[in-house]
Every structure is written in structure tokens, then in C-alpha cells.
A and B are shown apart, each in its own frame.
Chain A
Amino acid sequence: MSEVIVVTSGKGGVGKTTTSANVGTGLAMLGKRVVLIDTDIGLRNLDVVMGLENRIIYNLVDVIEGNCRMKQALIRDKRYPDLFLLPSAQTRDKSSVTPGQMIKLVENLREEFDYILLDCPAGIEQGFRNAIAGADRALIVTTPEVSAIRDADRIIGLLEADELRRIDLIINRIRSDMVRRGDMMSVDDVMDILSIPVIGTVPDDEDIVISTNQGEPLVGMNGYAGQAYLNICKRILGESVPFINLDSSSGLWSKISCLLKRA
């Protein structure tokens, strides 16, 4: 049975696209057939994070308007043959697609894929409506900041009103050193405030910047962020994986693994 997951946040810049890329890649790594759809029409991003920007010929709007077949628009990933990207259109705007058309598009993809991941644009307007229209469940990305959590709360309300089957939270960019000295809200604080299940926590890691620079998602690689994303993927598949203790990042082991990584 296929599952359609929307990755959303409300606020921009909290890591939706990075999360989509890593979760999509991770699910493919675990042997699933996955398609990533960039629904941010006019502001194409996911292709760059995936490192597939040079292979785009057709896009989402082309498929919806019938300018090409679905197969022509899907771009196969460089590393995983069962991972595909449907890029967004750069020269159009959000009103070129309706929620009804998105539902139809997603339904067609269900036959081919185990997981359909929708990277949602920031905001709660038409682009958001399009992205959530065909979704079964949602991953809400937030950071431990007042504005991001406030927007996440609003999004949760909208998704619940839309009767989504399941809503999970990803808390991104946690800095354990700041949490420890009391200058950042902790995972427990955020859980307490938003009261939806947390499916993963991702540390604020330099490796993410590096992986985005290279256009290669870091899921599964050594290091906290890579492992955190892989754990999220396993939990999506229904496995119960213990949470990594982000607090130990200043411990002896992390120092050793840091040295090993550099070597």
C-alpha cells in the first residue's frame, strides 16, 4: 500500500526541503520506491538539494497541463534507482495548479510508488492547499524558536481541520549546547507545547550545509544528522527506534568520531 506524505511547516527556512530530500533518499535507501514532488511552484529548490538540477526537462505543471507524460517528467536519482523527483516549474505561479489536479496526480503515482513525498511551500495559501490536498499523513518540520513553533501550531490546526490521518513532528536544528545552558527550548518543551507525536529530532549540524552544497543528501552517513534522518525513515516504516541522545555531542565518543571523520 502506498502512502502520501506532505512535508510542511508554515514558516519558511526551517528545513522542509532538506527534510524532504533526506527522508525521500532514506526511504529509497531502505528499499522503497519513492517519488519526491516539489510543490513550490515558482521557487524550485528540491532539485538543487538533490543535485539533480541539470537533468530537468519537464516539470509538475507540464504533467498537469498534459504537455508531457508522467514518465518523461520524472528524474531518476543519481544513487538510488528507485528514487525519483518530479520538479516544480520555475516560470509559473502557484495558481497554475488546483487541489483537484494535485489529488489526481498523486492518485496516478500511487500505483507505481510505495511513498510519495510532497515538499510543501512556506505559507498557508494556495501552494499549501495544493500540497496537502492528496496527502494521507504529514511531517511537520519546526525549529526550537517561538515563530517557527507558532506557525507549526497553526499548521497543525489546519491539517486537523482537513482530517489528515496522521501528523508527526520533526524538531530540526537543535543545539544541545544551547539547550544545556538554558538558551534554547528543549525537545520536551516543544513536545509539551505542540502536543503531537515527535517522529524525530535533528541536530543543527555543519554536515547539512556541506551536503546541500554538494547536492547529496546525508541520510545514513556517519554523524548525528545522517543517523537522525535515517531513524526518522525507519520510524515512518513503523519500526520503533530509540531516540539518539543529542546531548552527548560533547562527549568522548563524538570527539573520537569527529577525529575519524576528518582523517
Chain B
Amino acid sequence: MIHIAELFTRKNSGDIARQRLKLLLIADRAGCSPELLEMIRNDFLRSISRYLEIEAGDITVCVVRTPSETISGKLPAICATIPVLDLRSHLQHDIRLPL
């Protein structure tokens, strides 16, 4: 027996496939584990939040293939999306920091 509630909460298997594939390809393309990407993500977070107010939960780090300027073909590149909440206040705060 399938519960009616289950019918509504069940996630489409197509969406599950897409999500699994995205994670899989991030690791495959990077040639490194998702854990390593997580560490890179945390380091980005730490260094950038020294200067800007950012949304920690919304940072994504992935590896994409981009056309290279020096050789023909594509090279892997790290692509990070980091939403900035407030640019100014932190800058002023930062200026006051002793160097």
C-alpha cells in the first residue's frame, strides 16, 4: 500500500539522477574527491569573509572546462560562486584593521 502522503513527497527519479550526476561529475572532472573541494570551499569562505560580508551557505565551488587561451582545447578551471551580502561596511571595517 502506498500512502497518499508518500505520493506527494516522493522525489522524481529524474531529479535524483540529475543531482547524483552533478555531484559525480564535479568529482570526476576535478580528478579529486568532493572532500577536497569542500576544503577549498572552506578556505575561500575564510579568506573572503575577512574583506566582505558573504552568505556562507550559498557558496558553490565546482570544476568546469573552459577554452584555454594558450593551447587549443579546454582546461579545467575552478569556478566559485560567492554571493556578497554587503561590500561597503566590511571594507570600512577592514581599513581600520592594523596591518
Contacts and interface: CB of A to CB of B under 8 A. Distances in A.
Contact of B21 (A146, A154, A161, A184): A146
B25 A186 contact: no
Contact of B17 (A154, A185, A195): A185
A1 interface: no
B73 interface: yes
Contacts, number: 48
A146 B17 contact: yes
A102 B48 CA distance: 52
Given A160-B65, A160-B73, A150 B24 contact: yes
Contacts of A146: 17, 20-21, 24
Given A146-B20, A160-B65, A163-B72, A182 B14 contact: yes
Interface residues of A, number: 22
A178 to B, nearest CB: 8
A186 B24 contact: no
B93 interface: no
A154 B12 contact: no
Contacts of A157: 29, 65
A125 interface: no
A47 interface: no
Contacts of B15: 182
B13 A183 contact: yes
Contacts of A186: 14
Contacts of A183: 12-14
A185 B13 CA distance: 9
Nearest to A162: B73
